[in-house]
């Protein structure tokens, strides 16, 4: 029989004493293949049982919202709504909120964020297969279609009408919504003092404490590479978007997979946009928009919004950040 190392025994005794004294401590779990990526959950709770209850609440909320927002499940509420056209359809509070907020963000970002941009991706994917860049006339026609309203949402957000047959993709928003709601579900459980959720780089923290988190460097794939930055967060969300490793290669020339909905063209300047915001959904949307806008436009918009910081990395390795980001870095 192999003896248990003394350090491990002491850690177990320490955990037991903490629980006996009712002192909260951090419990960490990992999952793979959650929303197509990895999940790390950290719960600060008084007991391991309470942390486990919070973990299950988080997983249940993710499963519930996948049935609302999934692009891949034909039976999801989003896909069932997208199968309609020109007729007002009742929607759940979750979907109604997502649809309404996406319209607001499309206006706020001047169209840099647009749920209809997936149509541009299909055009560029087909062009890659042909080995020729997309026809400018085809792109112009599609961009013009994107300028028209894709849908409308009733004022009470309980019904919505599709106005265009373009397939809509809310991934850059829905994932953040799921992270937020799942974190809130875990945080509501008895005995839970703080929660940190990380799903594929989308983070949400809830609690009165402050945590130091790392922001990945968009210019490297190495897991052990130094981070681009560290942030001190409290009750906030963080998200990162970029084009470093994905794209379309046509006749030996690589084009970014991040496409500007206003022109139909791949972005050429920003390779990584990280955003700190009041929640993960806001950070997710703005990270997408800031990958499209120029650094100057992104910094200006971030400063106009309350509680938004950003770090932008350009192709020539320049870095731009606003004061709010700088105040939370380190």
pLDDT of residue 45: 98
Contact 186, 55 (CB under 8 A): yes
**Cα(171)–Cα(106) distance, rounded to whole angstroms?**
14
List the one residue out of 222, 263, 259, 223 whose CA is nearest residue 243: 259
- Domains of the chain listed by start with CATH number: 24-71+169-206 (3.10.520.10), 77-89+96-162 (no CATH), 210-330 (3.10.520.10)
> How far is residue 310's CA from residue 302's CA, in Å, rounded to a whole number?
7
Q: What is the pLDDT of residue 23?
A: 87
Give the pLDDT confidence score for residue 15 in this predicted structure.
53
What local confidence, expressed as pLDDT, does residue 285 receive? 98
Question: What are the E-state strand segments in 210-267?
Answer: 211-215, 229-233, 237-242, 247-250, 253-256
Contacts of 243 (CB under 8 A, 6+ apart): 256, 257, 258, 266, 267, 271, 291
Whose tokens are 């731009």? That residue is 320
pLDDT on residue 219: 73
Report the pLDDT value the prediction gives residue 54, as an integer from 0 to 100.
98
- Is 152 within 8 Å of 140 (Cβ atoms)? no
- The tokens 């460097």 sit on which residue? 217
Helices within the chain (DSSP H only): 6-21, 48-69, 77-82, 93-108, 118-130, 136-147, 171-187, 280-292, 295-304, 323-328
Spell out the per-residue pLDDT of the chain, length 330, in tens.
445 555 554 455 445 545 555 689 999 999 999 999 999 999 999 999 999 999 999 999 999 999 999 999 999 999 999 999 999 999 999 999 999 999 999 999 999 999 999 999 999 999 999 999 999 999 999 999 999 999 999 999 999 999 999 999 999 899 999 999 999 999 999 999 999 999 999 999 999 999 999 998 877 766 677 888 999 999 999 999 976 667 899 999 999 999 999 999 999 899 999 999 999 999 999 999 999 999 999 999 999 999 999 999 998 989 999 999 999 998
CA angle 149, 246, 292 (to 5 degrees): 40
What span, in angstroms and rounded, lies between the C-alpha atoms of 24 and 274? 31
Q: What is residue 110's predicted lDDT score, i.e. its pLDDT?
A: 97
Q: Is the CB of residue 113 less than 8 Å from the CB of residue 289? A: yes
Contact 238, 231 (CB under 8 A): yes
Half-sphere exposure of 111 (CA within 13 A, CB side): 15
Question: Residue 110 and residue 133: Cα distance in Å, rounded?
Answer: 26
Check if the beta carbon of residue 203 is closer than 8 Å to that of residue 280.
yes
> What is d(CA 304, CA 286) in angstroms, rounded to the nearest whole number?
13
């Amino acid at each position: 029989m192999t003896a248990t190392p003394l350090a491990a025994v002491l850690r177990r005794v320490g955990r037991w004493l903490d629980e006996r004294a009712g002192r909260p401590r951090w419990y960490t779990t990992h999952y793979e293949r959650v929303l197509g990526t990895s999940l790390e959950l950290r719960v600060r709770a008084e007991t391991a049982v309470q942390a486990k209850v919070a973990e299950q609440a988080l997983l249940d909320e993710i499963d519930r919202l996948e049935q609302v927002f999934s692009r891949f499940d034909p039976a999801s509420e989003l896909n069932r709504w997208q199968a309609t056209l020109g007729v007002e359809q009742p929607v759940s509070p979750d979907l109604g909120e997502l649809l309404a907020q996406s319209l607001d963000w499309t206006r706020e970002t001047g169209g840099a964020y647009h749920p209809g941009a997936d149509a541009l991706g299909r055009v560029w994917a087909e062009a890659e297969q042909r080995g020729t860049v997309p026809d400018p006339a085809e792109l112009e026609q599609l961009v013009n279609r994107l300028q028209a309203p894709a849908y409308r949402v009733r004022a009470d957000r309980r019904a919505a009408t599709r106005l265009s047959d373009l397939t809509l993709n809310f991934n850059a928003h829905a994932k953040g919504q799921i992270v937020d709601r799942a974190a809130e579900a875990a945080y509501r459980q008895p005995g839970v003092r703080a929660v940190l959720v990380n799903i594929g780089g989308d983070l949400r923290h809830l609690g009165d404490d402050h945590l130091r988190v790392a922001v990945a460097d968009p210019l490297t794939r190495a897991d052990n590479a130094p981070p681009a930055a560290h942030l001190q967060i409290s009750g906030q969300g963080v998200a990162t978007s970029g084009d470093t490793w994905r794209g379309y290669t046509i006749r030996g020339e690589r084009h970014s997979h991040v496409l500007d909905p206003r022109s139909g063209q791949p972005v050429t300047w920003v390779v990584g946009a990280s955003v700190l915001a009041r929640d993960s959904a806001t950070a997710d949307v703005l990270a997408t928009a800031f990958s499209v806008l120029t650094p100057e436009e992104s910094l200006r918009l971030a400063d106009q919004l309350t509680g938004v910081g950003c770090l932008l990395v350009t192709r020539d390795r320049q870095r731009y950040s606003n004061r709010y980001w700088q105040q939370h870095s380190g």
